[in-house]
Structure 1
Amino acid sequence: MANDTLTGNRVTAIPRQPVSHAGLINAVEGTLADFLASQIAALDAVDPSLGGFARTARDLVLAGGKRLRPTFAYWGWRGVAGPAADSEPLLPALGALELMHTFALVHDDLMDDSATRRGRPTAHRIFAGQHGARFGSSAAVLVGDLCLVWADQLLARTPMPPATLLEVRARYDRMRVEAVAGQYLDVLGETDPRSWSVERALLVARHKTASYTVQWPLDFGLALAAADEPEVAEAYRVYGITIGEAFQLRDDLLGVYGDPAVTGKPAGDDLRTGKPTALLMLARQMATPAQLSELDGAGIDRKAQVVAETGAPTRIEEMIRTRVAEGLTAVTSAPIDPEARGVLIELATVATQRPA
């Protein structure tokens, strides 16, 4: 049963190469479900209320999502490991990325006071419904913290040589630092959005989103392969930054014009909070004095119309296309497994032309 993982009373098959996207995600989610079951049982044994707390955290982790971070990490690994390599040892490391992502989402939703995520109430809203707003905020912080601890624990279970895990951990730590740094800049920008700039908004996009969504997961995968491939590392870096920034620019557009039934998040949150995204900074830069006045004082729906009237969304679409083209050029010429190259090309489109 070398290619199976015994998980409780279930046997979860680890798909042989070539692997389907669904097969990969199912394997990662199976690993997460079994790990979280053991963690919940341990907390349940301390106090039933802790078990309920942990179950809420589990539900947030397993609530769906695009699972882009483990996907990019897998194909970063596969690009150098090749089609014959066994993917089963990667699963704890890939699952750890999703736990880290949940930590970031829970804290981000709390800072933005977002009502929904993936079509469901956010963590702080769930807990606020139990014991009020202050409890909701406090419990959401703790859920995020717990997910980050769980990510560390699951990563440590990756069955690889210590030297390999040390390199993997270095990428993981860099990813976390950049995500926190980007989030701080994001929060800072909201304190005085008029003093922000398009350039600084892109800096936030690079650190808050691009680095931990695409760039570092790819490099994380390269480290999992224990490969010393400078040319591949550089191609992954360029692809990761450009596709990651394009991903965030698409997110900026969806934050204003996305369909909540598809995105799972309310439309207009960025306009409501005054978040200085690249889209809104461009709109302010391109606006007439009359339009600028409306951007400062109109209602959410009218602000969205004004942003469109400035031409900023069209400019953002151009920026997305430019970045995708640069990223595809980098990965097309990289000395990696052909199937991995094809999937990374496809993922660039999936990540940047998505409806949610």
Structure 2
Amino acid sequence: MMIVKTKTYLISALAILACGATQAAEIYRGKDGSTVDLYGRLGFNVSDKKTGDTQGDFDGRLGFSGRQVVNDTVSVIGLAQYQVNSAEYANNVEGDNDSLTARYVWAGLDMSQYGKLTGGRVSSGLIMFTDIGDVFASSDVSTGRQARYIDPTAVQVFRQDGTVQYQNSFGNLDFSTAYIIGNNTSDLDYGYNAALRYTLDMGDAGRLAPVVAFQKTRADQGEKSRANGADTFTYGGVGTRYYLGPLMLGYLYSQDTVTYVNGRADSKDKNHEFTAVYDINSDWTVRAGYRYLSNKGGDKLMLRDTTFEVQYKLTPRSSIYTAYILRNGHDGYNAVTGSNVSFGGSSASQSFYHAGLRYEF
């Protein structure tokens, strides 16, 4: 994510990045200044990630964002983004395989210098933190993975139904805070989160952008709850990105704990991630990263992933990605279902390759 220097541009950039696209096409403009923009992503991936055998998968994403001006300060805004085979399927939240599933759906108010207020399945401010590790086309987000044990709509810690969020920027400080109301699908009692990022401009020495993040959710223990005794999820993380010319380095550390009301031991994740991105020129970018995750008291999953990825830009909006992910961890064990716990659809001990063509519009 690029460092932004103005409040207005920051808020707009967060919405665009949440769509997973760098471009937008205006498809409607009303006489009152209202606009609707279209975002999208089409692609095809070849990998042996999920089965050990080479297979091809279609990658499709479609999003709409709108803005309606109220006055010189306030605009009504909204966004809806859908994806084929999005991560929501992992929790069986909605949809069938190969159908479009909502990743983000929210509406709110952009109040210019007074910030942005949004509600729904929002583009969470926690993305400022999770994006430090989420730089590869071929990998999945591990930080905060246990959020789903409390809220099944939280396929990632930064995507949850029924969230009311406030975001703003003051100078070099960007911040976000949210209250998670939940709904009938989320089975939540309550939840809240916050994230802070401060950008240090060090001139010729580059830029440093440290981030802190926190979230806590609690399950509703009613008769229809699907939490299986899980009671609370407490998550915290610190990290930073460093920018120097064409080089970006990142590091994050997070830990989270799930507590239970049925006598089960607390489940604790600790997660370290290192990332490096280097733009060789306008056409070629190389990425590398290492992730170490360990769980104690829960499923005992361990991830030790080393990722190497190369991107070639055919056009400013079309790229070929090739990657190899060296995995040296081990699967966990689900005490409730008795099944193995893998990660991202593949074993934590099986290395895999990935090649893909992606077009964004």
TM-score scaled to structure 1, two decimals? Answer: 0.31
Greater strand proportion: 2
Greater helix proportion: 1
TM-score scaled to structure 2, two decimals? Answer: 0.31
